[in-house]
Structure 1
């Protein structure tokens, strides 16, 4: 939009030019009337000139500076011999004068007074329009900036949340997982559960600790194997005792007491084995619960990955819509440019029409002059020139009508040019706004691209975590199988212990019938007592 200062200067130049043209026409017509001293026509001419809303007053002076006639607006039209002094001294009015010569002799001076109030009114309206347009533009820019800030803030917040979640998962994987493994082993060892399996692939301090624990557990497992071997040897010795006890009948009471002691120790061992069996079952149940939890974690991670895929699809849709909006804004800019070119062509055509009108004005002036000359010739001819006078009067009226029509067309063309100029300015502002929208759409596309990249990275991390969770579930399943096998072995050991106890009780019953070979029975009983003591010493290591 053209600024008020420039618009005022442009309109002032147009007004001054139009006043000069009016003065030229007025001087030509008034000079002819002065030459013929036709005062009535001068009065009509002054009234006609005062019809122009920009002209305030007109004065006609003879060659000797004597006033002929003057007219002014009060605001009604008023005709007198001379202008009032207040109009001549009014500094708000602009006056221009022109001297009319005939054969290089001064015939008279014509002066017009006009005001720039219409220009001020137009400039004030333009200033108000300019201010309103600037306020609307500022409001539009502020709204777009607020929307862009909100979008960018949300994007940055989501990225920060995703980074924090990734860091938490990484810390849990690197630090907490080995510590949880140590804690699990500690709880199992505190329950005297030595059937645990330790998986260690690290070489740091925690890895060294797990290796040491694994060695200790392995030694304890060997110790338990020795206990099983001793129990088997005790069983074999008990069978020999049963066979030998058939041959002895002496020292029945003493042998019975010893066999009862062995039976009591065997029962105690069986009870302790049952306690171990219970602990192993509880541990196996906890392992299965951990396996179920791991499977649930894997399922949740799968849901997270699916949600991220849906979010990626939404982001792609937003990016496609942004591309469509960018293409539409580009087409709008092209169409605005085409409209601006069309209006420029219209302005050029109006300028050409203005040139034609100026030619018509000149023809009208010449026709008017021709009519004046014809009137002079008719007046000189007297009665013979009456018909010629009628023709000259008709020509003069035609010239006046042509001048008025040309002036009317000229004012309309001027208004059309002003409207065309304002339209071009508005189209240029619309083009600028569309360009700003296009830039905003480009920024949105960049933001969507960055968010999509971050979402892809998070999805990849989630898949990695899911793979590790599946591995944990697999290891827990293997551990559960190992617990089941251990439970089976302990159950078998309990049954064997019951059989040992039953055998010893049978020995106790059979010793009641033994009466011979006491020395051999004592020797076998001592061996049985020694093996029983060894068994007690090895079992006491477990502190159950």
Structure 2
């Protein structure tokens, strides 16, 4: 029994148990040892099962850990690659943005300079438009004065025409009087001729009368000659008066045409003056708008400078992210190597 107990204590559960069938104390001890043996066998089986369960659990746990490690490696690697790709894309985009912002800033400054020059040019145009408006106002005033002068000239021509026509009428009346005088002179000459004839018939008694008749005849001849001269002068006056009336009519027509042209010019100049004033107002408004554009472009340039700084910061962040992504892959690799 002692040897059996020693073997059982050493873990030899294959040991046969003697005296199990005996009915004495040895048998009782043997049966008690049998119960102990059965418990040892059961305990060994339980320990074996627990060991197997523990080994299975350990294997499952290690398999799960390895699977998780593989999954972690895959996901972390994919995330790191995505992060690296995103960082590269971000870096490329930041570089592009930085280039675009630099170009935008350069163009903004160029536009600002051009806008400033345009503002100066517009103000020069506005000044020229104001000067043109002043000149047009002066021209309008001169045209108005010319119109007034033309109208006064037309009035003077009309009055002169009336005077010349009155002169022509007076010359006609004088011509009529001269005709009457010529007729009287003719009749006087005829009477003087008859008196001379009668004096000749009277002989010595009619000699004195003949002398008087001769003088009357001579006077009638002088009167006829004078009336012919007067008639010639009157005809000349009438001819000159007629030409003067015709010339005055042409002058009057010309003056009226000048008046109409001056009035048309005055209206046109007034329209141009109004249009020039409107242009000047629009140009001034455009100048203000150009100044606003210049200010806006200046702000855009300043914003572009700030954006360029932000793009450079983003580029630096992207590079740091790319570096951290590589470092993360390295750290995860070391961790997974330790886990495996």
TM-score, normalised to structure 2's length?
0.58
Give the equivalent residue in structure 1 for 2:246: 425
Secondary structure of the 1:411 match is helix
Q: 1:308 to 1:281 in 2, by over 3 A?
A: farther
Give the equivalent residue in structure 2 for 1:282: 99
Give the equivalent residue in structure 2 for 1:482: 303
Alignment of 1:67-216 (within 5 A): none
Q: How many residues align?
A: 257
- Quick one: which of 105, 110, 113 aligns to 1:292? 110
- Quick one: which of 397, 400, 418 aligns to 2:218? 397
Give the equivalent residue in structure 2 for 1:71: none
Q: 1:294 to 1:461 in 2, by over 3 A?
A: farther
Give the equivalent residue in structure 2 for 1:442: 263
- Quick one: which of 185, 200, 211 aligns to 1:379? 200
For the pair shown, which has the larger CA radius of gyration, 1 or 2?
2
Mapped contact 1:364–1:400 kept (Cα < 8 A)? yes
For 1:304 and 1:506, the matched residues in 2 are separated by 66
Mapped contact 2:186–2:220 kept (Cα < 8 A)? yes
Q: 1:284 to 1:317 in 2, by over 3 A?
A: farther
Map Cα deviations across residues 236-282 of structure 1 (whole Å, 9 max, x no partner): xxxxxxxxxxxxxxxxxxxxxxx999999988776555434422332
Give the unaligned 5+ runs of structure 2.
1-75
2:134 is equivalent to residue 316 of structure 1: no
Map Cα deviations across residues 319-338 of structure 1 (whole Å, 9 max, x no partner): 34432432332232233234
Instruction: Give the Å deviation of 1:494.
Output: 5.2
Alignment of 1:343-358 (within 5 A): 343-351=164-172, 353-354=174-175, 356-358=177-179
Map Cα deviations across residues 439-461 of structure 1 (whole Å, 9 max, x no partner): 12222222233333334444444
Q: 1:500 to 1:391 in 2, by over 3 A?
A: closer
Instruction: Give the Å deviation of 1:431.
Output: 0.2
* Structure holding more helix per residue: 2
Q: 1:380 to 1:277 in 2, by over 3 A?
A: same
Map Cα deviations across residues 301-329 of structure 1 (whole Å, 9 max, x no partner): 44554454454345434434432432332
TM-score, normalised to structure 1's length?
0.39
Give the unaligned 5+ runs of structure 1.
1-258, 512-520, 527-544
Instruction: Give the Å deviation of 1:481.
Output: 2.8
Secondary structure of the 1:409 match is helix
Map Cα deviations across residues 204-232 of structure 1 (whole Å, 9 max, x no partner): xxxxxxxxxxxxxxxxxxxxxxxxxxxxx
Map Cα deviations across residues 96-117 of structure 1 (whole Å, 9 max, x no partner): xxxxxxxxxxxxxxxxxxxxxx
**Cα RMSD over matched residues?**
4.3
